[in-house]
Structures are given as C-alpha cells and as structure tokens.
Amino acid sequence: MITRPDPRGVVITTLLVLMVATGPISTDLYLPALPGLQGYFGASAATVQLTLSVYLGAFAVSQLIYGPLSDRFGRRTVVAAGMGVYTLASLACVLAPTIEWLIAARFVQALGGCSGGVIARAVVRDVHGADGAAKVLAKIAAAMGLAPMIGPVLGGFLTNLFGWQACFIVLTCAGGIALFGALFVLQETNAALDPTALSPRQIMRNMGTLLRDPNYMGYALTASGSYAGAFAFISGSSFVFIQVLGVSVQGFGFCFAAGVAGYILGAQIASRLPGGVRTVGWGAVLNIVFGLAMVMPILIGIETVATVLIPMVLYMIGMGIILPHAQAGAVGPYPRMAGTASALFGTMQYSIAALLGIAVGQGFSLAGGVTPLPMAFGIAGAGFFTFMCYLILLRPFLWRKPDLE
C-alpha cells in the first residue's frame, strides 16, 4: 500500500502549487516566443495571439465539467486524468508543423490543464474549510507566482538557444511530474462523494443556486475583471515591449517578471489581511486607478517601458489582493459542491479574460500594427469593470454585516 503525505503538509501544498501553475505557466513560458512565431509560421500577430486566447477559452469552458466530475468521482482520479491529457497535448505542441496545428494542440492542452486549478481549490476547501481556505489559497498564490515570474525569463533563454519548441518540452515534463504526483502522492480529500453531481438536473440546480447568489457572483465577477486586465497584458506585452519599445527577448522576460512580482507582493499582503469584502475592495481600487494610469501617458504620446510597466506592477498588486480572498469568499459557503463552485468561478474568470485577449489582438489588426494602446485600453477597461462589480455587487454586503468570511 502506498503511504501518502499529510494533505495539510508541505509536500501536498507544493503539488497543488504545481497543478495550479500549469495554467499560467502554459501561457507565460512561451510569451517571449510569440513575435518569433509570426516569422516561423508566416502568421499575423492576431493569429499567433489565438494560441493564447483559444487556450484560455477552452480552459474556461472545460472547467464546468471538472467540478461536477470531482464532486462525483473524487479529486484525485479526475485531476490525474486531466494531467494525462495535458502532458500528451504539450508533446503535440512540440511537434506542431503549422500554426493551425499549434492552436488545436493548445485547445486540447487547456482541456487537461484546467483540471489543476479546479481540483486544487476544491482540495483546499475540503481540507481547510471555509475559514482557513483564504489564507492557504493566498500562500499558494504567492508561491505559484514564482512560476510566471521565472517563466518568461526562462522562455526567453530557451527560445534564443533552442527555439520555441523547447518551451513546450518543459511543459511536457511539468505535466508528467504533476501526473505522477496525482497518481502516487495526492490522497482523496472528497469525503462526501455526491452520486447526483453529474445529473443534468442537479448540475443546473447547483449552477442556478450559484448564479442567484449575489455574494458568489460579486466575488466571481470582481476576480474575473481583475484577471482579465492581467491577461490583456499577457496577450499584448511581448509584442509591445519587443516590437514597439525595443526590449530584447530576454529583457522582456525580466519586465514580465516585474509584473508578476507585483502579484506575489499582493498575495503576500492578502495572506495577512482579514478575508472579506473590504479587503477585495482595496484591490479593486488599485485596479481602476492604475489601469487608468497606464492609458493616460500613452494617449498623449508618451510610450516608454516605465509608463507601461510601473502601472502594471501596481495593478498586479491589486489582483494579488483580490484573487485569493475572492476565491475563498465564493467557494467557502458551498462545502457540498465545492468542485462545482470552483469550476464556475474559473469559467467566468477565464472566459472574460479570453474575450479581452481576443479584443487586444483585434485591436492590433485594426490599428494596422502593434501599438500599446489596445493593450492599455484593455487593462483600463478591466480595472473599471472590476471596481464597478465590487461597488454594485459586493459593497452592499458591508452594510448588512460587518464583513464576509
């Protein structure tokens, strides 16, 4: 019999970080290669950008099934299957002969990779309960932030030394490690399997309960708006920094890492703050203020690394504060359907981000080439959306009770 580690211990937390990180690292690692993919495949910037947005769209929608599956069959079995699909699809990306093949492989990669985030949030809720989940998720978020911080820097070196395919070889190896961990390290944490979780009627009933809950929707939409701003940066930053601002491929990796450092700082701050509406509100204020702060200089013709990067770092601090508390606030009240609640949360988060990412790519096309303005408008719009969701949906709860756990 295999002896598995304590689900509250460092080993399992590290494994959960890896599983959650498959999502962001699958986009961040190869960001420095995006401009080079244009030449390699002879494709436009908007077409190459689809390797990001199609991934995120599939990542969003497929979460809806992983939640109910894990509520029905357990967390470990479902995440192992997902990591297996992710690993094989990552290998298919390495072998892509055309941009269409790469986009299709990215779609399948997302179908498997999204299991990591859904199951990890549900496992944390299973093990730590509603009260302890926020602090654990904040610590995971801070640790996970190292992946996208290192990813673009490593991706820049890999792309220069071995070509863009090397990035996907690394992702294949990471998927294999996560698969091994799911099979032989992670223990089952869902102590109350729900035999009706896959019933269409039960799924619709659960979804309806969540969608009608203003507390759940407020947290989910506020987090979705904040993350969408970050994805607008992910979608456009490599083109803007490398092609417009003249930053080298390796230099872009360090610029992107600075943004991620802001997210890590925000997550560290979040782990020391009480959970609830008021804390999320502070993050929403940072999002709207520094989203607008990026647009203003660009509108008057000031386009420098500093005027783009500094507001983004401060925006990311706000996102780091929002995400862990919003995740815990949304999923915490639903212990019997934590998987479904986590899945719907992720679907909204990544769907809105994917749509904004596509809009940024189309903005480049409409502008006749790459400029910072579509990306900056996307980030500012996301910040405004985030703040309005907080103001309309969450802030009223401050008047009904001291705060939400």
Note the pLDDT of residue 403: 43
In residues, how long is the chain?
Answer: 405
Amino acid letter, 328: A
Closest CA to 389 of 276, 296, 285, 270: 285
How far apart CA 293 and CA 315 sit, in angstroms, is: 10
Note the pLDDT of residue 342: 78
Note the pLDDT of residue 107: 95
Question: Which structure tokens are listed for 338?
Answer: 């934590």
CB contact at 8 A, 184 and 76: no
Q: Which residues contact residue 86 at a Cβ distance below 8 angstroms, ignoring those fewer than 6 apart?
A: 22, 109, 112, 113, 115, 116, 175, 178, 179
Q: Which residues contact residue 388 at a Cβ distance below 8 angstroms, ignoring those fewer than 6 apart?
A: none
CB contact at 8 A, 12 and 132: no
Note the pLDDT of residue 314: 96
Domain ranges of the chain: 10-400
Question: Count of alpha carbons within 13 Å of 272, Cβ hemisphere only?
Answer: 5
How far apart CA 378 and CA 366 sit, in angstroms, is: 14
Note the pLDDT of residue 398: 64
Amino acid letter, 105: A
CB contact at 8 A, 256 and 375: no
Residue by residue, DSSP assigns 41-68 as HT--HHHHHHHHHHHHHHHHHHHHHHHH
CB contact at 8 A, 200 and 367: no
How far apart CA 248 and CA 245 sit, in angstroms, is: 9
CATH code matching the domain that covers 10-400, chosen among 1.20.1250.20, 3.10.620.30, 3.30.40.10, 3.30.70.3460: 1.20.1250.20
Q: Tens digit of pLDDT per residue, the chain (405 long)?
A: 455 656 666 777 788 888 888 887 898 888 888 888 988 998 888 889 899 889 988 888 887 888 788 888 888 999 999 999 999 999 999 999 999 999 999 999 999 998 888 888 778 878 877 666 767 777 777 666 677 778 888 888 898 889 999 999 999 999 999 999 989 888 888 877 878 778 888 888 888 999 999 999 999 999 999 999 998 998 888 889 988 899 988 888 889 889 888 988 998 888 787 767 888 999 999 999 999 999 999 998 899 999 999 999 999 999 999 998 898 888 888 877 777 787 788 889 888 988 898 898 888 878 777 788 999 999 999 999 999 999 999 887 665 544 433
Note the pLDDT of residue 402: 41
Question: Which structure tokens are listed for 70?
Answer: 């894990």
Closest CA to 35 of 335, 235, 325, 303: 235
Measured between alpha carbons, how far is residue 257 from residues 3, 29, 35 in Å? 38, 11, 18
pTM: 0.76
